[in-house]
Structure 1
Amino acid sequence: MTTNITPRTLPDSLQRWFDAKGWSLHPHQQAMLERAENPALLLIAPTGGGKTLAGFLPTLAELGTDPDAGLHTLYVSPLKALASDIKRNLGTPIEGAGLNIRVEDRTGDTPSSRKKRQRADPPHILLTTPESLALLTSYEDAPRMFKGLQRVIVDEIHALAESKRGDQLMLALARLQTLCPDLRRVGLSATVDDPQQIAHLLARHPDPCDILLADPGPDPDIQMLVTDEAPPWSGGGAKYAIPAVLEQVKKHKTTLIFHNTRAQAELFFHNLWLANEDALPIGIHHGSLDRDQREKVEAAMVRGDLRAIVCTGSLDLGIDWGDVDLVIQVGAPKNVKRLVQRIGRANHRYNAPSKALLVPANRFEVVECIAALEAVKAHDLDGDTRGAGPRDVLCQHILIAAASGPFDADALYAEMTSAGAYSDLSRASFDACLDFCATGGYALRAYDQWQRIRQRPDGLWELRDPRSAVRIRQNIGTIQDSDTLKVKWRGRGGAPLGEVEEGFAASLTPGDTFLIGGQIVRYEGLRDMVVQVTRDAKKKPKIATFMGTKFATSTQLSQRILRIFQQDDWPALPPHTRDWLHLQRDVSQLPQPGRLLIESFPHDGREQLVVYGFAGRNAQQTLGLLLTKRMEEEGLAPMGFVATDYATLIWGLDAVTDPRPLFDLERLEAGLDGWLAGNAVMKRTFRASATIAGLIERQVGGQRKSGRQATMSSDILYDTLVRYDPDHLLLQITREEAMRGLVDFDRIRDMCQRVGDRIDLLRLTRVTPLAAPLFLEPGRVPINGEADERLLEEEVTRLMDESGLNQIEVKPSWRVPY
């Protein structure tokens, strides 16, 4: 800390406590005090810069001099664990200064007795999540509970702004602003690519939002990990790097080892543990593990008992996890903003550089990691502009408003359009959502269960049946968990291990072994919707693990990779990767910005077509579906395809000689409409949106429906609406969501518009170096059983010989000059 506290800004007791500690405020913390009366204020400060304390300083100053009873400040975070951590951290200055301030948290883990008491006697500061806040606004006594509320602090606002949880939160804030017109809003974040966009979401429309940019501090110390063995041509496990990772763990106090998927985290932890001859204390942490197991790992981290933690995004956000002095990112980060967030977990101190190492899982990811390093160095964060607020969240908010009491439609519309994401909401769109909540829509209006609200003679809207408020509250939220089943040890009172997807569980047969929580377990059977397992002493599971979430490479990072390809040489790349790119340029060419490279060549008795779209995995997968459909329409004979973040490989009987007709945007979109109409993607998207909008209830009478029950209900509804009411509001929402999320068609549209007719089709005689890894993707080269590694090695050797890649000399080690 650098500047002195102005004695007038803080209570004397807190001033004395700071003085006794030898602390003074950072400039941005002082500025937060000076701008405490701003209606909306966004603080962007580096990790370790005390931004959370900065957000609370005005609250402590106001409550320290005038501690009136009642709720003064509401703190909202994306994570329950973060709320608990803030409660612990806030207690230090409050107790040290002897302030009479009561701080409590309220999340899904809070006992019901405490929740009831908080509504009657709220604390001065309440720490909560978007879901719990939405629930609080649904009660009839919400006006009394929030009547004295003066400030709302939204922490890690960038994480909330990227999802429907943020839309739900901003609608809840609009409701609070109606109850408390002078409410002040504060947003906190360390990683914001577009401050104006976040400010627009935070402020009450059309009011402005002040943006405060703190000194970003020193650049992070981030490099590529040096390994004795070169990365493989394909795959995502990074097993080759484990010896080097263990050496780094030994040299540091606590290391966080991040992965992009839970499957990769489980596999890496398992292999790391097998190589851990020194028995270093190592843990694993991800969202599918049992809560008790996660909390044990978290407690051990805080105590400093663990030397390394293999983790996923579950540890991305701002919790101060003990003495972490190194972050390792295994696999290409896919998103620069996420990488910066993860790097910030190390050396959680202001003006101290965070230390991080990148570990590419395969040769192509070497290039992606270099691109990410350059982006971090240039402070070039990536992010996609979000569109208008989703209407399924809007429908849920209408039901929440009705649960709290009768409402006027005009007033509710004005309230909703004060939320940034809904500032352009038309009255017609609002009325359509209102009608949906009242009738269920044209095809469903004959059924009482979907007629949730009605208009009274005085014009106000209310619940048709007041008892339905309980069911509405039970189903509040926008988080759509994948349909999961509990995993427990077999036997009476078997301890829980975590959860796996229903689809994964359905693929298991008794005797199959898989990884969960770093342990190899044997599947014994399914009983009472619980996956029962026993321990297995094998060193290798038959089935790796469940999949978890997959990330797609951001558009900005993909464009940076393409710009790297345009260099004459690549001195920053290790020799094996540099020679690989030179060989690609010699036998074919490298993809270019603003152009689309397509390669065509024979292989294994089939014609191969490789489309280097660099549009991300979801978009490249969708492109494969649409192109094969277009090829069939053109009389070609496609047989299958596989996709990665950067390319789609299609194989078939006939060579493509003119690709331009295949990329006609109107026909691609028409093909997408036809494909989506009866596809499982649409049904899955419909189920999520219908659940958020209140058409489908996952919780009934305190009991949660199984995934299978919910799927059957939603599929019947979907088929009914498609047949009898194809313009139903929920079908409109479903198409919007599918296009924006699961199929990522916007990226395909952007690619086609950017490229135009600048398509380069190269007819070649053999597999090219850049295409070779595509033939090793799962689903393209089926490798199973005990001989998998030997068969894979033989396949790699054959492909590399064919593409000329075995001409490349692989050095025993390499270093990247960053």
Structure 2
Amino acid sequence: MASASPTTDWLAARGWQAFPFQKNVWKAMRAGHSGLLHATTGSGKTLAVWLGALQALADAEAPLTVLWITPMRALSQDTLLALQDAAATLAPQWTLAARTGDTSSGERASQQRRWPTALVTTPESLSLMLARADAPEVLRRVRLVVVDEWHELLGSKRGVQLQLALARLRRWNPTLMTWGLSATLANLEEAADTLAPGAVIVRGAQDKKILIDTLLPPRIERFAWGGHMGLTMLPAVVEHIDAAASTLVFTNTRSQCERWFQALLQARPDWAGLVALHHGSVDAEARRWVEAAMKAGQLKCVVCTASLDLGVDFLPVEQVLQIGSAKGVARLLQRAGRSGHAPGRRSRVTLVPTHSLEIVEASALRAAVQAGRIEPRRPPEAPLDVLVQHLVTIALGGGFRPDELLPEVRSAPSYRALGDDAWQWALDFVRHGGDSLRAYPDFQRVVPDDTGVWRVPDARLARRHRSNIGTIVSDAVMSVQFLTGGRIATVEESFIARLRVGDVFLLGGRSLALVRVEGLTAYVRAAPPGKALLPRWDGGQFAISDTLAEAMRDRFDEARDGRFTDREMRFVAPLLRLQADWSALPGSQQLLAESMRSADGHHLFLYPFAGRTVHLGLAALLAWRAGRDTPATFTMAVNEYGLELLSATEIDWAARLQPLLAPVSRETLREEVLASLNASELARRRFRQIARIAGLIFQSHPGEARSQRQLQASASLYFDVFRQHDPGNRLLRQAEGELLSAELDVDALDRCLTRMAGQRLDLRQPARATPLAFPLMVERLRERASTESLAQRLSRMLADLEAAAGGKPAAAVDVGARLAFGQAPAPPRAPRERRRRR
């Protein structure tokens, strides 16, 4: 009997058979449909779309038939290997290659002489291809674009950049198929429509078994405080790793990753060579070695960050450990899926809390996963900086006529509502820099020629634009290497700038001493193990999601009713009972507030359980509203669970708090938040990112790199010029809008105020700091005291609180050791002093 197809033969040869959802994808692709495939990690998504491509486009011989977009260039080689296996049998005439920022110039030149049939690339590299003069000729042949890990791009400007690129490809080939792959999305319809209007949704296997458990500490700390590395859990983690053949240990920050790698090797020197380090600043060659060794089963453990969240297929991984809370349901699922990464295999993730309240988060995370509650990802709306960059890119790639390009831009979902005024402003900006910069030739980037086609006439400006394409904006990075020339890793310039010659720090798993700095290279030598500084990277700390915050409030509801339904909640019961005895427990229907006096002043503690970002805006708003009528100075502190306002004078919160929390219209709330913060300085910082994407400032010129100080100075100059001479500049308005939406999340703050208005305010006056209040006091003290003085004060405070609670005083050495081990980087804070605005 003849076989059904070469595809089923290929699967059968490996002992596999197609799943129903894979067959649905193949049927849709044969019909020429675009789509979004949503299935759990390791269920066969990649094979579904790739085998569908090999069937639907089997007759393709033209170069660049398929573009496979990956969100991380580090994943390109792994993806390429995964695709080559099936293509070698099912489409032997096809050639495959990767093209990212890591691709050598020689390989790029070879590709341009003969483009491959399928190319694995990134959004940035695709935009670079669009900037080629022969872009229409090269890219009009593309018949399929596959976007891997679409959820990672959907809610960012990188996703918007890709939307615009896809709109251009569809103009050249209206029958273009676009398929997205995702495992962790809640808003599937919006995600599919954003990828390809009219795309079908194929739901794959969602019954993958995920085991989520928690590694509980030896004893409960009733007065938990955040900021330490969780290294008190080191013995239990070592035991857990020892019992498994292979483990991924996820951390939330690169600093934490470095510290845990060192701690594991100190605890088990015999694991040298079996434990590896992987994060975004480690040299690319070293990362590739780690990935290959893990896949080959040569490593027992890899300590990593989000650098291994995506894509890399680690079939041998037996378990995943998550140090600290994952802070979001989707992130936890993504990391859990790194183990058992194959159809039919069970994934396992063990949560390792760094303090007691994270045990409640662990319980809430499991409950949210079991209920299928995942965070939605929303695409940005019409960011003009991305549009401006895209206009210059298209002008380089053959040029454009504005009246023909506008419908194409509006076909990208993020720009559907783009107004004529905003479009004209973007054209004016790329033509002469707008009203305030038209006298400067460098801003005459795109001009119409005699035929009405807009092009880039200056070769120097063209080279500069190509060197800076992309929407990823971060602190300038410095290369760290030995005096002998061996490159170790990269680290942000702001960290190296704080070091003196001879200072010792941990990086790339090594203890290093700074020797000298030349340009953007820091030269180091090996240093003996001992006390070392931990590099600090921006953007390293996550805030808990709305979904997780809601699940936590549910956990507290159960505790209020005396129900402790799982082992995590039973373990933290002593903490929660003490909180209830001294004050009360918060919940979904009760808003808990505490008013207390201490030697520091008069405290207000409020527990909305809405996440650090919302609490920062809420604290500033409360202080500002309170100071409108009564002169007052406030010091603020926030964490994931609540906020603290400290004032020197007593305030009647019983009479004032409820009115101060009243919701207002969205526009009024935006105005109040901007008034309550140092909004000008915060917007200035946000403007640097926008100016970089829009092409006002450049991370690098061809042949040179610019320091962070130079970039910030340039951005500040433009910011001041626009405010003085062009106050209606749309990039200024965008900076303000992104500050409110991204950094302060005013929409979430609005939802929080509305929710609190429907809750019963429960204002208590405890005699001393409660278990929920104590972490907030520590947050405030960390900003004002040295490590040594803070350790001494925390020791006294803990001893007094434990004595009042009828327990043993905490050992001072424990507090000092935790602080000395380093702290996770705190997010940028608004200035703390809030004075009455007259």
So what's the TM-score if we normalise by structure 2? 0.90
CA shift, 1:338, in A, is 0.7
Q: Is the 8 A contact 2:608 2:642 kept in 1?
A: yes
Distance in structure 2 (CA, Å) of the matches to 1:435 and 1:805: 69
1:599 has 2:594 as partner: yes
Instruction: Verify the 8 A CA contact 2:283 2:489 in the aligned structure 1.
Output: yes
2:651 aligned with 1:659: no
In structure 1, the partner of 2:384 is 391
Is it true that 1:216 corresponds to 2:214 in the alignment?
Answer: no
Of residues 563-572 and 653-662 in structure 1, the stretch that sits farther from structure 2 once superposed is: 653-662
Contact 1:389 1:422 in 2 (8 A): yes
* Structure 1 counterpart of 2:623: 628
2:816 paired residue number: none
For structure 1, which segment, 708-717 or 419-428, has the greater mean C-alpha deviation from structure 2 after superposition?
419-428
Residue aligned with 1:566, SS: helix
- Looking at structure 2, the residues matched to 717 and 445 of structure 1 have their Cα atoms a distance apart, in angstroms, of 13
Structure 2 distance, partners of 1:219, 1:200, is: 29
Asked if 1:284 corresponds to 2:277, the answer is yes
Please list the CA deviations of residues 669-705 of structure 1 after superposition, one character each: whole Å capped at 9, or x if unmatched: 4343246676442222101011111122222233221
- Find the counterpart in structure 1 of residue 550 from structure 2: 559
Q: How does 1:685-704 map to 2 (within 5 A)?
A: 685-704=686-705
- Matched-pair contact (CA < 8 Å) for 1:46–1:350: no
Is it true that 1:42 corresponds to 2:41 in the alignment? no
Segment drifting more, 42-51 vs 542-551:
542-551
- Residue from 623, 643, 646 that aligns with 2:641: 646
Matched ranges for 1:281-680 at <5 A = 281-456=274-449, 458-465=451-458, 467-489=460-482, 491=483, 493-542=484-533, 545-546=536-537, 548-567=539-558, 568-569=561-562, 570-572=564-566, 573-593=568-588, 596-657=591-652, 658-660=656-658, 662-663=660-661, 669-674=670-675, 679-680=680-681
Residue 35 of structure 1 aligns to a residue whose secondary structure is helix
Distance 1:542 1:477 in 2: 32
Query: CA offsets, 1:311-344, max 9 Å, x none?
Result: 1100000211241010111111111001001000
Amino acid at match of 2:531: K
Moved more, 208-217 or 760-769: 760-769
C-alpha displacement of 1:308: 0.8
Q: In the TM superposition, what is the alpha-carbon distance from 1:787 to its structure 2 partner?
A: 8.1
Counterpart selection for 2:229 from 205, 230, 237: 237
2:119 to 117, 120, 126: 126
Q: Which amino acid aligns with 1:43?
A: L
Return 589-598 or 130-139, whichever deviates more: 589-598
Pick closer, same or farther for the CA change 1:498–1:540 going to 2, 3 Å: same
2: CA distance between counterparts of 1:227 and 1:785? 24
Query: Cα–Cα, structure 1 residues 51 and 581, in superposed 2: closer, same or farther, change >3 Å?
Result: same
In structure 1, stretches of 5+ residues that fail to align are 809-818
C-alpha distance in structure 1 between counterparts of 2:527 and 2:798, whole Å: 31
Paired letter, 1:728: N
**Counterpart-to-counterpart distance in 2, 1:786 and 1:602:** 25
Distance 1:40 1:543 in 2: 47
The alignment partner of 2:511 has SS state of strand
Question: How many pairs does the alignment contain?
Answer: 795
Secondary structure in 1 matching 2:651: coil
Given the superposition, is the C-alpha separation of residues 782 and 713 from structure 1 closer, same or farther in structure 2, using an over 3 Å criterion? closer
The alignment partner of 1:765 has SS state of coil
Rate the CA distance shift 1:182–1:768 in 2: closer, same or farther, 3 A.
same
Matched, 1:228 2:218: yes
What SS does structure 1 have at the residue aligned with 2:178?
A: strand
Q: Residues 89-118 of structure 1, C-alpha deviation per residue, up to 9 Å, x if partnerless?
A: 222223345722101111111122322332
2:726 & 2:733 partners in 1: Cα distance?
11
Q: CA deviation at 1:528?
A: 2.6
Cα pair 1:455 1:462 within 8 Å, conserved: yes
Q: Aligned pair 1:54/2:48, yes or no?
A: yes
Q: CA deviation at 1:618?
A: 2.4
User: Does the 8 A contact of 1:326 with 1:356 survive in 2?
Assistant: yes
What is the CA–CA distance in structure 2 between the aligned matches of 1:251 and 1:642, rounded to whole Å? 41
State the shift of 1:63 in Å: 4.8
Counterpart of 1:249, as a letter, is: I
Deviation for aligned residue 1:33: 1.4
Would you say 1:256 and 2:248 are equivalent positions?
yes
CA positional deviation for 1:527: 2.9
Q: SS state of the match for residue 75, structure 1? A: strand
Kept after mapping to 2: 8 A contact 1:443/1:725: yes
- Which amino acid is the alignment partner of residue 691 of structure 1? R
1:192: Cα distance to partner? 1.3
Q: Is the 8 A contact 1:237 1:361 kept in 2?
A: yes
SS at structure 2 position matched to 1:711 = helix
- Output the amino acid matched with 2:657: P
Deviations for 1:544-571, whole angstroms, at most 9, x for unmatched residues?
A: 7546521110011101111211111224
Q: Please give the alpha-carbon distance, in whole angstroms, between the structure 2 residues aligned to 1:423 and 1:117.
A: 39
Cα offsets for 1:615-635 (capped at 9, x unmatched):
322232233334334444343
The residue aligned with 1:768 is 770
Give the residue type in structure 2 aligned to 1:722. R
Q: Which amino acid aligns with 1:209?
A: A
Cα distance in structure 2, aligned partners of 1:187 and 1:635? 55
Determine the C-alpha separation between the residues in 1 that align with 2:424 and 2:280: 38
Deviation of 1:387 (Å):
4.3
Instruction: Give the Cα separation in 1 of the matches to 2:368 and 2:49.
Output: 29
Corresponding residue for residue 812 of structure 1: none
Could you tell me how far 1:664 is from its partner in structure 2? 5.6
What does residue 78 of structure 2 align with? 85
766 and 794 in structure 1: CA distance in 2 versus 1, 3 angstrom threshold: closer
Change (3 A) 1:559 1:785: closer
Cα-to-partner distance string for 1:333-388 (whole Å, 9 max, x where unaligned)? 11100100100000111122101111111111111111001111112111353442
Residue 723 of structure 2 aligns to a residue whose secondary structure is: helix
- Asked if residue 33 in structure 1 is aligned to residue 26 in structure 2, the reply is yes
- Going from structure 1 to structure 2, the CA distance change for 1:7 and 1:186 (only over 3 Å counts) comes to farther
1:422 offset after TM fit, Å? 1.9
Segments of 5+ residues of structure 2 without an aligned counterpart are: 811-838
The 3-state SS of whatever aligns with 1:105 is: strand
Deviations 1:766-804 (A, max 9, x none): 212211122223744766456876664443223444577
Q: Could you tell me how far 1:458 is from its partner in structure 2? A: 4.7
Change (3 A) 1:785 1:610: closer
CA contact (8 A) 2:583 2:765 kept: no
Give TM-score scaled by structure 1 length: 0.92
Range 394-403 or range 739-748, more displaced: 739-748
C-alpha distance in 2 between matches for 1:564 and 1:180: 52
- Distance in structure 1 (CA, Å) of the matches to 2:678 and 2:530: 45
Out of 35-44 and 363-372, give the one that drifted further: 35-44
Letter in 1 for 2:575: W
Q: What per-residue deviation string (whole Å, max 9, x for no partner) do you get for residues 477-501 of structure 1?
A: 0011222222223x2x432222222
RMSD: 2.6
Q: Distance in 1 between matches of 2:268 and 2:601?
A: 45
In the alignment, the residues of structure 1 paired with residue 192 and residue 212 of structure 2 have an alpha-carbon distance, to the nearest angstrom, of 30
For residues 733-748 of structure 1, the aligned pairs below 5 Å read: 733-748=734-749
Asked if structure 1 preserves the Cα contact closer than 8 Å seen for 2:160 and 2:379, the reply is no
Q: Tell me what 1:814 maps to.
A: none
The 10-residue stretch of structure 1 (219-228 or 634-643) with the greater mean CA deviation from structure 2: 634-643
Identity %: 34
The answer to whether the Cα contact below 8 Å between 1:768 and 1:803 also exists between their aligned partners in 2 is no
* Aligned partners of 2:618 and 2:749 also within 8 Å: yes
Counterpart in 2 of 1:815?
Answer: none
Could you tell me how far apart the structure 1 residues matched to 2:421 and 2:500 are?
Answer: 52
- When structure 1 is superposed on structure 2, of 655-664 and 38-47 the one drifting more is 655-664
Q: Is 1:108 equivalent to 2:106 in the alignment? A: no
One-letter amino acid matched to 1:41: G
- Amino acid in structure 1 at the alignment position of 2:208: P
1:117 aligns with 2:110: yes
8 Å contact from structure 1 (residues 334, 554) kept in 2: yes
